[in-house]
Amino acid sequence: MKIIIVGCGRVGSELAFRLFQKGHQVTVIDQNEQAFNNLNTDFRGRTVEGEAMNRDVLHRAGIETADGLVAVTNSDPLNAVVSHLARSVYGIKNIVVRNYDPVYRPLYETFGLQIISSSSWGAQRLEEMLYHAEMHTVFSAGNGEVEIYEFAITQPWDGHLLGELISSSDCVAVSLTRAGTAILPKHETQLTEGDILLVGATFFGIEAIRLRLNNITEK
């Protein structure tokens, strides 16, 4: 694929080299020529110095034939405008943008852009690891709005039904593994100590499960 990366900071330069290693044609745009020093010395893609909102710069980067664009500067308005321009004017559908300041997330959502908000996602991960080490996040969708968690069924829940643990619309059971065999559990599935449960949940859904786990443990 032909990929344009706008912004050659730590994230942009790392992504550029990873894509280059996988055989993609990568062009990096940055208004600061010194930023290209962040690129790995083995990077053999193209670099274009200039303001990404300048159409001449975008044309030099090959936007007319690009298959995808990634905007990862530390300017949210720039990321949003360039991405919107790439999609609305040049018809690029495969676009991902970095949300630098969470305050600007509504701007990206207004444009309907696929965003990666490292600040929001990272803060939520840190909170979960700090307070809930017994549950592990094994997959995160979007910016953490929905995640898949893994945890073991403890003795107090032995013999209870899955429906007693998961009764919220914000949480669904993905799989239950017992003695090395995984099944798609139902609400009437009886839990056994040592079962490994995978659940897909929002933040509120997993909090409801934690409360139930703690309440029965304390009884």
Last residue of a domain, one of 82, 99, 116: 116
Work out the pLDDT band at 217, boundaries 50, 70, 90: low
Report how many domains make up the chain: 2
pTM attached to this predicted model: 0.65
Distance CA 47, CA 197 (A): 47
Q: Which domain holds residue 95?
A: 2-116
What single letter denotes the amino acid at residue 109?
A: E
Please give the residue that has the higher pLDDT: either 81 or 114: 81
Q: Are residues 92 and 143 in the same domain?
A: no
Residue length of the chain: 219
- DSSP string computed for 151-189: EEPPGGGTT-BHHHH---TTEEEEEEEETTEEE---TTP
- In this predicted model, what pLDDT tens digit does every residue of 58-67 receive, in sequence order? 999 999 999 9
22 CB-contact burial (10 Å; exposed 0-12 / middle 13-18 / buried 19+): exposed
Q: Are residues 163 and 96 in the same domain?
A: no
Q: Are residues 74 and 153 in the same domain?
A: no
Q: Are residues 90 and 132 in the same domain?
A: no
Mean pLDDT, rounded, of the chain:
89
Q: Percent of the chain at pLDDT above 70?
A: 94
Q: Are residues 108 and 165 in the same domain?
A: no
> Does 89 score more than 90 pLDDT?
yes
Q: Are residues 7 and 74 in the same domain?
A: yes
Q: If you average pLDDT over residues 66-70, what whole number do you get? A: 97
- In this predicted model, what pLDDT tens digit does every residue of 147-163 receive, in sequence order? 899 898 989 999 999 99
> 47 to each of 13, 94, 213, how far by Cα in Å?
11, 20, 53
